Chain A
């Protein structure tokens, strides 16, 4: 018990939400930010297209329109009070980032430039609206860098390359976390009044994914094992445009700039599925459309992919057919040079990984696992809530992708993830610091590191007859196939049987690296345990929900069923068994109706 640290507030994770929380909490409370990576390696940095805010810099727009679009995008499962809160905070949040130095692209007038994005519309005409504030196609990178830089400026305390392993709770309140310092292998106890989880998503449970290796659902799994519930875990977003086989993200901004989807017959197919906004429908709609094209034999060369076309001549042709115009009313056009300037990273990815030049060639794409809509249940202040009555767990907060507020409901709109982590990261930080001001430290348990140590011991002492890499590979494949874009009872039951089998096999893996210094084998094995725990509640929640809504598409229940299923799922793991309960969706202004794009 040599390494005990004491802070008012401990933030776990240093992506956009964690840094924002750290920045705000540290203004009034002694705060530490703990991250398994160097902060600038966090997955926020991979976000490309933009952050949504109704600034109206290029055309008329209103936070109310943003709110409605987000509610509709969520397939009415998002909580409307929280969505309204986020969208009305959005313009100020983006302006604040600019004031922190974030280098947004600019309009000719010198204001923050904005581009169209899927599902964001002018609520009067139904046409796409320019709402995504962008810095080329590396908006997330610029947010991550800017927030890290501001944290350095404000002397925020960081513990880089520390993996948090356990959450300490005493008398029903937060008391801290246990972490391992990767460079030494030593365990550390962080005694705290308030703990903020900002640990990101779990997209690595799927085979084809845009997500980083680090995205193993650590925060969600830790709290699940401590008996806390997770919310809406059946809702996972598959982004329509990942690079074929690799899953690397190709931003929706490509379609915002006029790119279109083309099937194996050379036809633009989105007008069939979304007659008004076409290639800028929301992501669940487009991913299903691509799958339908492929299933009906219109993939390219009989394979599981279609084309994304941003060649200037194609963009100009289809923009003219759609009647798309510039803000001044002139016909929309684009040049090869503008494509290069607006989408430099996309061009780079395609050249490096595919040997394809998007200015002259089409890109082969397929849907890729992308975003965790569900997660640790919170209210709009980032406070973690633990039952159907939204009872607050004192001292525990969550923000960003690991949290479920819920502002994304059954399907997130593009640009709303960056907005989510900035807005709710800030409020979680403020709320945690305020709580810490009035709360006392709970006494630490006698051996706070016992559980973490036991988990590591088990991984070191297994029989060794199973290989962790095999289990991981099988899990990713089955989850992608059976609990992916289209789901049915048979497939999900199979996945659950498999998960039980892998969990049993997992007990027999053995970490052969006996060292302390950067034992990445031990760490990866522990992360696999998190993925298995999370995959189980994802599959169980999905099997339980007998309807189709947003990112959850059941072949055996193809319709949305508001009468029975307009409610959030809460899932617990208790005594080795899955327990499911529900809580109501908050509906304020917008009554559910059929969702057409």
Chain B
């Protein structure tokens, strides 16, 4: 089948402003949008720039807007998005070149919520693992799936308004540690996310949940965090 691919283009070294370029190419229904971008880069215009690596939805490099919605280009198939396809960079982060955005503010926010396991208590005397029941483990299973692709954070109207907002991805990581029975810094993290640029900026638009390629129920996770800051219970 023939598809038309309309791509957002911006070269900071030559362009005053962005523009769109449209390419018509042969495609299979099962082609990934990433496959189409590779073809355009290989045969139409080598300067087209985008990030990609694993090509099957687990590394998080190729989050972008496809027909207006945040998706991973390697996980969106032609049959899912139709034969008229518009591809644009994520919103809310500065466009560096074509489909590449500046990820630094995103990772800076991630780093604010102490995104690492904290437990300074003595290790088990038998030299083995800390114990955790399957139920305790299941409590935070979903939020361990995050691949930091930024699809959620850059779909959030509050993040568009201010990139100081930690954003859904950072809150998902906070949830992953706060609800881990082995971690000891829940109180500290709850204090951090209760700040002005934290939970208060979430207005439950649900965009993040719809955008997540890992199908994490992000709005629900944020809701659980809000409840925890109010009740003090986790």
| Cβ-based interface call for A590 (8 A) | no
Given the interface pairs A98-B129, A106-B137, A512-B47, the reply to whether A38 lies near B144 with Cβ below 8 Å is: no
The reply to whether B145 and A138 form a contact with Cβ atoms under 8 Å apart is yes
Q: Is there a chain B Cβ closer than 8 Å to A212's Cβ? A: yes
Contact B180 A103 (CB under 8 A): yes
- Provided the pairs A106-B132, A512-B47 are in contact, do residues A41 and B115 lie with their beta carbons within 8 angstroms? no
User: Does residue B167 face the partner (Cβ distance < 8 Å to A)?
Assistant: no
Q: Which of A475-521 contact B (CB under 8 A)?
A: 511-513, 515-521
A209 closest partner in B (C-beta)? B55
> By the criterion of a CB under 8 Å from any partner CB, how many residues of chain B are at the interface?
59
A320 near B: Cβ within 8 Å?
Answer: no
CA distance A348 to B215 in the complex (A): 10
In contact, B30 and A183 (Cβ under 8 angstroms):
no
Whether B147 pairs with A109 at a CB distance below 8 angstroms is no
Once A110-B133, A467-B42, A512-B46 are accepted as A-B contacts, the answer to whether A149 and B116 lie under 8 Å apart by CB is: yes
Cβ contacts A191-222/B at 8 Å (1 or 0 each): 00000000000000000000011100000000
CB contact under 8 A between A100 and B117, given known A45-B59, A520-B50 = yes
Whether B129 pairs with A212 at a CB distance below 8 angstroms is no
Q: Assess whether B180 is in contact with A101, with CB atoms less than 8 Å apart.
A: yes
Residues on the B chain within 8 Å of A108, using CB: 133-134
Q: Annotate A327-368 by CB proximity to B: 1 below 8 A, 0 otherwise.
A: 000000000000000000100110011000000000000000
Measured CA separation A110–B136 after assembly (Å):
9
Interface residues of A in 208-248 (CB under 8 A from B): 212-214, 246, 248
Shortest B102–chain A CB gap in Å is 8
Taking A40-B60, A101-B116, A353-B77 as contacts, is the C-beta distance between A213 and B47 under 8 angstroms? Answer: no
B12 contacts across to A, CB distance below 8 A:
517
B46 touches A513 (CB 8 A): yes
Let me know if B49 is at the binding interface, CB within 8 A.
yes
Q: How far is the CA of A246 from the CA of B23 in the complex (A)?
A: 24
- Is A135 a contact partner of B144 (Cβ separation < 8 A)? yes
The interface bits of chain B over 110-143 (1 if a CB of A lies within 8 angstroms of the residue's CB, else 0) are 0100011111000100011111111011001100
Smallest beta-carbon distance A347→chain B, Å: 11
Main secondary structure of the interface of B (DSSP, over half): loop
Answer yes or no: A37 CB below 8 A from chain B CBs.
Answer: yes
Contact A517 B144 (CB under 8 A): no
CB-based contact B111/A212 at 8 Å: no
Of the candidates B47, B58, B119, the one whose C-beta lies within 8 Å of that of A101 is B119
Residues on B with C-beta less than 8 A from A104 are 129, 137
In the complex, are the beta carbons of B144 and A212 less than 8 A apart?
Answer: no
Q: Report the minimum CB–CB distance from A111 to chain B (whole Å).
A: 6
State the Cβ distance, B107 to closest chain A Cβ, in Å: 7
Contact of B183 with A by CB under 8 A: yes
- Asked if A306 CB lies within 8 Å of chain B CBs, one says no
Is B97 touching A517 in the complex (CB atoms < 8 A)?
A: yes
Question: Given the interface contacts A345-B58, A518-B96, A520-B50, does A101 sit within 8 Å of B42 by beta carbon?
Answer: no
A118 CB to nearest B CB, Å: 21
Instruction: Please judge, given known A-B contacts A106-B134, A518-B97, A521-B41, whether A141 and B57 are in contact too, CB under 8 Å.
Output: no
Tell me the residues in window 121-175 of chain A with beta carbons closer than 8 Å to chain B beta carbons. 135-136, 138, 141-142, 145-146, 149-150, 152-153
Q: Is the CB of B147 within 8 A of A467?
A: no
Contacts of A348 in B (CB 8 A): 57, 215
A107 CA to B137 CA, complexed, in Å:
10
- What chain A residues lie within 8 Å of B6 (beta carbons)? none
B196 → A minimal CB distance (Å)? 24
Closest A residue by C-beta to B13: A515
Whether B61 is near chain A, meaning CB under 8 Å from some CB there, is yes
Residue ID in chain A nearest B131 by CB atoms:
A110
The verdict on A103 contacting B144 (CB below 8 Å), with A146-B117, A521-B46 known, is yes
Q: 3 shortest A-B CB distances, which residue pairs? A: A101-B117, A469-B42, A110-B131
Given contacts A41-B61, A142-B144, A352-B77, 18 further A-B contacts (CB under 8 A): A37-B59, A37-B61, A41-B51, A41-B53, A41-B54, A46-B56, A98-B130, A101-B183, A103-B141, A103-B144, A105-B137, A136-B141, A249-B56, A468-B42, A515-B13, A519-B49, A521-B49, A524-B41
A residues adjacent to B (C-beta < 8 A): 37-38, 40-43, 45-46, 95, 98-101, 103-112, 135-136, 138, 141-142, 145-146, 149-150, 152-153, 183, 212-214, 246, 248-249, 345, 348-349, 352-353, 467-469, 511-513, 515-521, 524
Listed A/B pairs (25) with beta-carbon separation below 8 Å: A38-B61, A38-B148, A41-B53, A43-B59, A45-B54, A45-B59, A105-B134, A106-B134, A111-B129, A136-B141, A138-B58, A141-B58, A149-B115, A149-B116, A153-B118, A212-B55, A213-B53, A213-B54, A214-B53, A249-B56, A353-B56, A353-B77, A518-B98, A520-B49, A520-B50
